[in-house]
Amino acid sequence: MVSDMLVHMNAVKAGMGMAYLFCFLVDTDPDLVRLSKATTDKSITAWALTHPDVMMTERARVCVRISCLMVQTGTSLSSRSCRFS
């Protein structure tokens, strides 16, 4: 089993098979194609790791909450415009 998603994605790009990948990793990659008939009931475990000092900031807590919400709702970063200041 491959646990590093970038290694997994590169294996797919090299023609080694198909895979369930995070949309935020592959939606903007023209070399990968989403299968229209693929099942959507697949789940994979993802971790949001932060340093304890960083997690004390509101900015980090909001980022983790939004990231989790986007994964739960299937929202991709590539489907919205983002501004950072």
Q: What 8-state DSSP symbol labels residue 78?
A: G
Helix (H, G, I), strand (E, B) or coil at 8: helix
Contact 20, 30 (CB under 8 A): no
- pLDDT tens figures, 25-38: 788 888 888 877 76
The amino acid at residue 74 is: G
Counting residues of the chain whose pLDDT is more than 90, the rounded percentage is 4
Contact 25, 6 (CB under 8 A): yes
User: What pTM does this model have?
Assistant: 0.45
Confidence of residue 43 (pLDDT cuts 50, 70, 90): low
Pull the structure tokens for residue 85: 């200041």
* E strand intervals along the chain: none
SS3 45: coil
User: With pLDDT > 70 as the criterion, what percentage of the chain qualifies?
Assistant: 74
Residue 81 pLDDT: 47
